Structure 1
């Protein structure tokens, strides 16, 4: 431990207790790959704890990662992670969004229709049957969750098969004249489950449907778009720490590196960054596709296996802006979800449309959510193709053949983006969270004699919360605290591999006297 004294200018930084001049250690060098929510949260926490020798390497010219807010007409369009209008102080993103300013009232949303569900052909459905069908579906969903909680060896098959069977059983309890509406509601709600995984729910196992956790505090709405929560983080990070347009080419760590440093990070333009710790926050799609060439030596087999158990679901958003909104003259509610039976006969990308909604507080914009393989196919089409496909759907479901084409099309391209390769992670191997926990383990691991060098953060490393902004933030804080703990343990940065602490000089041996 250093004796800091009154003048700390030449002693680096008080990396563990910034307010305590008696507990100062040499500052570790930290390189963070990615300036998304996980990377920014890690950097901000390290800075709060007094560690400012930080470099954040961001491949794009902007921060935020999969948080992408864009102005379109009179709204902020969320092309990536989004918010919903509930403000609860226990949620980590809410506390971040109110870091500097008190909560502001949200923009008023559209008037909620009277009744739970609407039939896009004949208007509102009968109220009693909709209530009953809704509660029946929630009971079935709870049964699927209970299967996970009870455990056991009985295999229940895919989630869609389990729920379809239970729905069919419940439909027999309805009068014949109510069965059609009840089936539309329950199968429609089943279809909406796909939005939670971004892929075919036929691939999900019913035995593991209850392993997803809801974050305490509910959903959070951030005024002026979710990108607004980045400002408090960016202000906590040392000036100049973020290096934009710096894709990483290779990371040398452990035994495969020059002497004198624990890790070297090279960007595609050839610049070198030395590090004691490297926090990796790229999406698992990027890690999987680049694992061989990105790390030298390669990642351990356990880490590669964990990556193979996870996959990135395809999900994209489309926003359509109209000069003259047609929905003011349209009878009935335009917001509707799609049931599998209603679009199963379509063979183009529109089969993946999950919802079409009027954007709250907007008078000119519609939002469309596209999930599954069709979301990836959509990225290869032109804006004209997208506008024509959605307009065809609108005309078919509203019966209005005079619905105009939109003036502007704004959409996301998460699956084809080389720095994301997907929207958000799913546990496609149904590992009960084991894959996420294994991915979150640092390399070298706790049982290794070498202190950790590679640390992993991101939404895919938090079991039960994958696919959420809150998971990304918590994972970044987790890895920052890991570095703080290691700094305490080693009283500064660990020595590079192969180095050892010099032994104290031994006392000279006394010469034996001749007798």
Structure 2
């Protein structure tokens, strides 16, 4: 995104085409659509959504190929109990009353075509699940890991080595290959191309909702219908990429403010790439974390506070891509559902061109003539630079190698996603990097006030990266949008209702005490941040900043016996 200030003539032209609103939402993904619905429910009609793409949905998108719908983005509803996306889908008839169960038969093969006994696969799956749960316990129990171990990858490898040392030499290699496969798969689940980049003490901060992973018969993108049906089309301006957000136009006069001389809150100015300019009292920014990492320094004027920028850097934002292979005829046996690729040890120092494809961990059968592969990290970014034809040829080589079948046909069509290359996503979803914490998520989500005496924030943030327990999920994005919109709706002066002036003044005073970030205290120490739940910006409005910073951090986690739900809706049983 380019700053419009670099082109004065563009800015001059833009001023001739301005609009003013009470609230502007940047982004028509799940967070933005949810926020707009909350505003509507509170009788706020003076809002607008600016969407950079020519469609809604953000990282939810499907394409139609010869009558077949392929989901390029989000795939599953993660969990049932307490999941608003599941409730939304259920109420709107997107989930069948009777769920049909189908067996999932896997074949684990090595590079020489040898097949691994299922008993070994099941053993290592169960062992790996235990090791992963141990990683999560560090957050839940708050005890320290072994010295020198700070990442999930390091801890899993430590556990792996201790386990394999107890086995005879001839039993280790096959189990090592399975373990490496599970770790490659985990990178796609967590959303980080390297598990060594994921913080060990914080992986347990993600809350897994019970119920496993649910697929929608009509495709996950069908959830956009219920989300957007109450948003008037004229409220969404597509093709309006935001380049600059001037959220504190009085910043240069800040040192001159003295008591009664303090000015009233100025409008937030939003400049779009197409030259249009908009103004709002408050802005809810729902752009993905990848876009913030790439453009925050030039997008926001004045720059975001240092602690918010530091938190943006501390979170990981990985790339996870899909590879669809479509065939004229079926060649997987009718009972086979997934081919697991047990690659020999990969030389990470080798040229990317000779190793990118070794990050593909399996091919899953979507139907008889359609396969799906997953790839993550730097390898996924490299794949995005290749033509579909090159990817298709390499996948054919892989299938022939692992199936020990030189007659595996070439696909008639190959479609690869490119989430890293997309300028309005810059990746797939977030995780907490080494040295980061839930507090960084809360710092990013915290509202910004142009001046300490203002009662209405100029800038709020939402998106999956803004939910401290459900980051990386669609329901996390949904709840963060709900949270930001409700926070605004509960402030005096936002909703058009009559209110006693004394009560309004009291509410304003209490609300002002809980702001976690203002332009005046932007560089406050991290220990001053108050832990928040997903809706704490609304619920803790009347808690003083002192009380918030000293209150105990509690976490309630509802357990689940479904250990396979961390896989993409796939059970090995």
Note if 1:230 corresponds to 2:230: no
Task: Tell me by how many angstroms 1:66 deviates.
Answer: 0.3
1:96-135 matched pairs, under 5 angstroms: 96-101=88-93, 103-104=95-96, 111-113=103-105, 118-119=108-109, 121-123=113-115, 125-127=117-119, 129-135=120-126
Pick aligned residue for 1:356 from 345, 363, 372: 363
1:36/1:337 CA distance change after superposition, 3 Å: farther
Partners in 2 of 1:267 and 1:333 — Cα distance? 47
CA deviations over 1:84-130 (Å, ceiling 9, x no partner): 6x8835321111112333732689676422xx763353445153x44
Partners in 2 of 1:364 and 1:117 — Cα distance? 18
1:263-302 matched pairs, under 5 angstroms: 263-302=268-307
1:334/1:458 CA distance change after superposition, 3 Å: closer
The aligned residue for residue 90 of structure 1 is: 82
The aligned residue for residue 130 of structure 2 is: 139
Note if 1:72 corresponds to 2:47: no
User: After the TM superposition, which of the residue ranges 35-44 and 164-173 deviates more from structure 2?
Assistant: 164-173
| Structure having the larger proportion of residues in helix | 2
Partners in 1 of 2:442 and 2:321 — Cα distance? 27
The aligned residue for residue 390 of structure 2 is: 385
1:364/1:448 CA distance change after superposition, 3 Å: farther
Partners in 2 of 1:89 and 1:151 — Cα distance? 26
User: After the TM superposition, which of the residue ranges 238-247 and 469-478 deviates more from structure 2?
Assistant: 238-247
Partners in 2 of 1:303 and 1:459 — Cα distance? 16
The answer on whether the counterparts of 1:311 and 1:428 sit within 8 Å (CA) in structure 2 is yes
1:106/1:248 CA distance change after superposition, 3 Å: farther
The aligned residue for residue 394 of structure 1 is: 399
Query: How many residues matched?
Result: 462
The answer on whether the counterparts of 1:276 and 1:453 sit within 8 Å (CA) in structure 2 is yes
1:261/1:95 CA distance change after superposition, 3 Å: same
3-state SS of paired residue (1:406): coil
CA deviations over 1:398-431 (Å, ceiling 9, x no partner): 1111212211111211111111111112222432
The aligned residue for residue 47 of structure 2 is: 54
Pick aligned residue for 2:468 from 463, 476, 479: 463
Note if 1:171 corresponds to 2:180: no
Task: Tell me by how many angstroms 1:311 deviates.
Answer: 3.2
Partners in 1 of 2:358 and 2:177 — Cα distance? 17
User: After the TM superposition, which of the residue ranges 380-389 and 131-140 deviates more from structure 2?
Assistant: 131-140
| TM-score normalised by structure 1 residue count | 0.81
The answer on whether the counterparts of 1:52 and 1:238 sit within 8 Å (CA) in structure 2 is no
3-state SS of paired residue (2:49): strand
1:430/1:217 CA distance change after superposition, 3 Å: farther
The answer on whether the counterparts of 2:323 and 2:414 sit within 8 Å (CA) in structure 1 is yes
Partners in 2 of 1:343 and 1:107 — Cα distance? 44
CA deviations over 1:223-246 (Å, ceiling 9, x no partner): 311111111121121341011111
The answer on whether the counterparts of 1:99 and 1:232 sit within 8 Å (CA) in structure 2 is no
The answer on whether the counterparts of 1:188 and 1:340 sit within 8 Å (CA) in structure 2 is no
| TM-score normalised by structure 2 residue count | 0.73
Partners in 2 of 1:284 and 1:149 — Cα distance? 26
Partners in 2 of 1:201 and 1:323 — Cα distance? 37
Partners in 2 of 1:179 and 1:74 — Cα distance? 47
Unmatched 5+ stretches in structure 2? 1-19, 252-262, 499-504, 506-573
The answer on whether the counterparts of 2:104 and 2:337 sit within 8 Å (CA) in structure 1 is no
